[in-house]
Structure 1
Amino acid sequence: MWRTCLLLLLLVQLSSPVEARRARSGRTQPRRTQQQAPAARERVEGPESFPLDFTAVESNMDSFMVQIKNLAQSLYPCSAQKLEQDMKLHFTKNASATCNDGSPAGYYIKESKGSRRWLLFLEGGWYCFNKQTCDRRYETTRNLMSSAKWPQTRRGRGILSPQPEENPHWWNANIVFIPYCSSDVWSGAAPKTNQSDYAFMGSLIIKEVLNELLTKGLQNAKVLLLAGSSAGGTGVLLNVDQVAEHLESEGHRGVQVRGLVDSGWFLDNQQYKVTDCLDTISCAPTEAIKKGIRFWDGLVPESCRQAHVGEEWNCFFGYKIYPTLKRPVFVVQWLFDEAQLTVDNIHLTGHLVHEGQWRYIQNLGQELRSTLGGVQALFAPACLSHELLTRSTWMDIQVKGTSLPRALHCWDRSLQNKLHINSSHVHQKHKTTPTRGCPLHLIDSCPWPHCNPSCPTIRDQLTGQEMSVVQFLKHMGFDVKKMAQQQGMDPRTLLGMLSDGS
Structure 2
Amino acid sequence: MAGTLCVTLLLLLSTIAVGGRKTWRRRSQQIVPSSWERSEGGGESFPLDFTAVEGNMDNFMNQIKSLAQSLYPCSAQRLDDEMKLHSLHNKSVTCNDGSPAGYYLKESKGSRRWLVFLEGGWYCISRENCDIRYDTMRSLMSSRAWPPSKTASGILSTQPEENPHWWNANIVFIPYCSSDVWSGVSPKTEKSGYAFMGSLIIQEVVKELLGKGLDTAKLLLLAGSSAGGTGVLLNVDMVANLLEELGYPGIEVRGLSDSGWFLNNKQYWRTDCTDIITCAPTEAIQRGIRYWNSMVPERCKQQFKEGEEWNCFFGYKIYPTLRRRVLLLRV
Tell me the TM-score range normalised by the shorter chain. Answer: 0.7 to 0.9
Determine which of 153, 178, 183 is the counterpart of 2:179.
183
**SS of equivalent residue, structure 2 residue 75:** helix
Measured at CA, do residues 91 and 327 of structure 1 come closer, stay the same or move farther in structure 2, by a change above 3 Å? same
Q: What letter corresponds to residue 75 of structure 2 in structure 1?
A: N
Contact kept in structure 1, 2:96 and 2:142, CA below 8 Å: yes
Q: Distance in 1 between matches of 2:316 and 2:297?
A: 14
- CA distance in structure 2 between the partners assigned to 1:306 and 1:293 by the alignment: 16
Q: Corresponding residue for 1:70? A: 75
The verdict on how the C-alpha distance between 1:45 and 1:123 changes in structure 2, with shifts beyond 3 A counting, is farther
Q: Which of 311, 315, 328 is matched with 1:331 structurally?
A: 328
* Per-residue Cα deviation, 1:45-70 (whole angstroms, up to 9, x for no partner): 99545397xxxxxxxxxxxxxx7831
Change (3 A) 1:20 1:282: farther
Q: Deviations over 1:152-183 (max 9, x none)?
A: 11121111111100111111000100000000
With over 3 angstroms needed to count, the CA separation of the structure-2 counterparts of 1:21 and 1:208, relative to structure 1, is: farther
Summarize the Cα distance change of 1:239–1:21 in structure 2 as closer, same or farther, 3 Å threshold.
farther
Cα pair 2:276 2:284 within 8 Å, conserved = yes
Q: Secondary structure, in 3 states, of the residue corresponding to 1:172?
A: coil
Check the 8 A contact 1:9/1:68 in 2, yes or no.
no
CA distance in 2, matches of 1:207, 1:248: 13
Where does residue 102 of structure 2 map in the other structure? 106
Distance in structure 2 (CA, Å) of the matches to 1:200 and 1:222 = 31
User: Which amino acid letter does the alignment assign opposite residue 69 of structure 2?
Assistant: F
1:245 counterpart = 2:241: yes
What root-mean-square deviation, in Å, do the aligned CA atoms of Structure 1 and Structure 2 show?
2.2
Letter aligned with residue 146 of structure 1:
S
Kindly tell me the number of residue pairs found equivalent between the two proteins: 289
Deviation at 1:4, TM superposition (A): 2.7
Contact 2:114 2:171 in 1 (8 A): yes
Contact 1:121 1:176 in 2 (8 A): yes
Distance 1:213 1:127 in 2: 26
Aligned partner of 1:313 in structure 2 is 310
- For residue 10 of structure 2, what is the aligned residue in structure 1? 10
Q: What is the aligned partner in structure 2 of residue 203 from structure 1?
A: 199
Partner of 1:134: 130
The residue aligned with 1:173 is 169
Task: Tell me how far apart the structure 1 counterparts of residues 266 and 321 of structure 2 sit (CA, whole Å).
Answer: 24
Cα pair distance change 1:95/1:46, threshold 3 Å: same
Amino acid at match of 1:50: Q
- 2:219 equivalent in structure 1: 223
**Pairwise mapping of residues 419-458 of structure 1 onto structure 2 (< 5 A)?**
none
Cα distance between partner residues in 2 of 1:87 and 1:256: 24
Deviations 1:203-223 (A, max 9, x none): 000000001100011011111
1:50 aligns with 2:55: no
Normalising by the residue count of structure 1, what TM-score does the alignment of the two structures yield? 0.55
Question: Which amino acid counterpart does residue 184 of structure 1 have in structure 2?
Answer: D
Provide the identity percentage. Answer: 63
Q: Distance in 1 between matches of 2:218 and 2:186?
A: 32
Could you say if the C-alpha distance between residues 231 and 8 of structure 1 is closer, same or farther in structure 2, counting changes exceeding 3 Å? same
Write the deviation string for residues 58-89 of structure 1: whole angstroms up to 9, x where unpaired: xxxxxxxxx78317xx5xxxxxxx42111111
TM-score, scaled to structure 2: 0.82
Whether contact under 8 Å (2:79, 2:158) holds in the other structure is no
Shift of 1:12: 2.3
Out of 304, 319, 340, the position equivalent to 2:300 is 304
